[in-house]
Structure 1
Amino acid sequence: MTTTLNCQHQPERHRFVIALGDDEAVLEYLRQGGMVDFVRTFVPESGRGQGVAETLVRTGLAWARAEELSVSASCWYVEKWLQRGL
């Protein structure tokens, strides 16, 4: 990947987002108290294979760590990262 991806946190919408031209890649979550559940990752076809989902997940997990939240993942992609210990 040759470009830097700008991942924005939109807490009012419970998501992280990367703009991809007219499309958006998103990592959605539900937060309850000291817990967060990452529920969905979506990258449009135009952004696949470019590290977009990885950037979303790394950013979301870094936020959760900084907020000292317990993390769970309903999303299979985030679960895969958690199993790797990231």
Structure 2
Amino acid sequence: MENVRHIPEQNRFVADYQGAQAILQYVTFKKESDTTVLDITSTYVPPEFRGKGFAEKLVRTAIAWGKEQGYELHASCWYAAKFIR
């Protein structure tokens, strides 16, 4: 499995593998309390690469980055929500 790359200008984390991409998409926004929220909105892994840990690696990388930034973590994505509870 290749390393995960962060592409902040596109609000995504990407893992390239054999010419395909697994993608995690997110948004950030400020709450009225001035807290910044990281909301993981979706994960996508090409069907031929599912079950190999790509989505988990993307989610764990995004969560680690969000914690480093001091963001409050949320997940609209059902898969990512399992890691944030």
TM over 0.5: yes
SS of 2:57 mapped into structure 1: helix
Question: How far has the Cα of 1:75 moved from its partner?
Answer: 0.1
- Matched to 2:50, the amino acid is R
Please show how residues 16-31 of structure 1 align to structure 2 within 5 Å: 16-31=13-28
Under a length normalisation based on structure 2, what TM-score does the superposition of the two structures give?
A: 0.88
- Aligned 1:20-59 pairs, distance under 5 A: 20-33=17-30, 34-59=36-61
Query: Does the 8 Å contact 2:45/2:54 carry over to 1?
Result: yes
Distance 2:16 2:23 in 1: 9
Asked if structure 1 preserves the Cα contact closer than 8 Å seen for 2:16 and 2:22, the reply is yes
Residues 22, 45 of structure 2: 8 Å contact kept: yes
Structure 2 residues without counterparts, runs of 5 or longer? 31-35
Give the TM-score taking structure 1 as reference length: 0.87
Paired residues of 2:2 and 2:17 also in contact (CA < 8 A): no
Alpha-carbon separation, structure 2, partners of 1:20 and 1:45: 12
State the superposition RMSD in angstroms. Answer: 1.0
- Identity, % of aligned positions: 39
Partner of 1:13: 10
